[in-house]
Amino acid sequence: MAKKVALVTGGMGGLGTAICKALANDGWTVVANCLPAFPPAAEWLAKTKADGFEFHIGEADVTDYEQCGAMVKKIEAELGPIDCIVNNAGITRDGMFRKMEKGQWDAVLATNLDSVFNVTHHILPGMAERGFGRVINISSVNGVKGQFGQANYSAAKAGILGLTKALAQEVAKKGVTVNAIAPGYIGTDMVMAIKEEVREQIVAQVPAGRLGKPEEIGDLCAYLASDKAGYITGATININGGLHMC
């Protein structure tokens, strides 16, 4: 039987790479999405190949609905139906609300929230028709609790939680689960871009006393994608070293 196909948006980033690897280790055929004509894609493919992985690439700007449709069509024609989508692509444009420019707001909402619609909308009908699907949306602890300096990001990531719960109800009887993962601070470029003294203050507030590892998010993702997780839907799974308990 052909292996099932999973698509990971922003698949070449810090969390994306770990998610791709965890899904591949569970037997999924994995497509890593990246922006069109993304120069480091070839290098990423070569590096992951050296680690023993054979990934595919799906090019699209996730803020562009039409590009996402074309990407999904191409993947499904070449590899077969997509049974798992991990909506992981995201950006930050931090700043205090009163200093925040409209462009910072728009970019973060488009990349972190609109993208979930743009990609999933092309995939979900097929999942429902086939009676199986996994939709995994990467939110954030800062979407759950709100974060000083991140009105845009907190709004987008909280929006993902609402979308997850609504959509989960619509497709639960169709064998499709829809869940959100809300990571705390994980040691990727996104977090390393925070000023060092601010980052140190954040880590000091984490009961576990450290940043999370990308692999810890990858493993949770692989579990949610597995048959074992068929009764988990509409959930927000917090994975934050105790930073926010709810």
36 contact partners, CB below 8 Å, separation of at least 6: 59, 60, 61, 67
Stretch that binds ligand NAP, among 4-12, 72-80, 168-176, 228-236 (CB under 6 A): 4-12
The entry of ligand CAA, ligand NAP, none near residue 117 (CB within 5 to 8 angstroms by kind) is none
- The answer to whether 191 contacts ligand NAP (rule: CB under 6 A) is yes
CB of 36 to ligand NAP, least distance (A): 9
The contacts of residue 208 (CB under 8 Å, 6+ apart) are 241, 242
Q: Per-residue x/- marks for ligand NAP, 102-121, CB under 6 A?
A: ---------xx---------
Nearest approach in angstroms of CB 130 to ligand NAP is 26
Stretch that binds ligand NAP, among 47-55, 78-86, 98-106, 182-190 (CB under 6 A): 182-190
The answer to the question of residue 198 lying near ligand CAA (CB under 6 A) is: yes
- Residues 6+ positions from 110 with CB-CB distance below 8 Å: 63
Residue 50 Cβ vs ligand NAP, minimum distance, rounded to whole Å: 19
Residues 105 and 153: their CA atoms lie apart, in Å, by 8
Residue 38 interacts with ligand NAP (CB under 6 A): yes or no: yes
Q: Does 96 bind ligand CAA (CB under 6 A)?
A: yes
- The verdict on whether 65 is a catalytic residue reads no
Residues between 74 and 103 that touch ligand NAP (CB under 6 A): 88-91
Residue 140 touches ligand NAP, criterion: CB under 6 A: yes
Q: Return the number of the residue (88 or 120) whose C-beta is nearest ligand NAP.
A: 88
**Given CA atoms 117, 120, 123, 128 in this order, what sign does their dihedral have?**
negative
Q: Which one of residues 3, 25, 35, 199 is an interface residue with ligand NAP (CB under 6 A)? A: 35
Strand partners, 107: none
Is residue 192 a contact point for ligand CAA (CB under 6 A)?
no
Single out the segment in contact with ligand NAP by CB under 6 A; choices: 13-21, 49-57, 123-131, 230-238: 13-21
Identify the burial level of 120 via C-beta atoms within 10 angstroms of its C-beta, where 0-12 means exposed, 13-18 middle and 19 or more buried.
Answer: buried
Q: Where on the chain is the footprint of ligand NAP (CB under 6 A)?
A: 9-10, 12-16, 33-35, 38, 61-63, 88-91, 111-112, 138, 140, 183, 185-186, 188-191
Which residues are tagged catalytic? 153
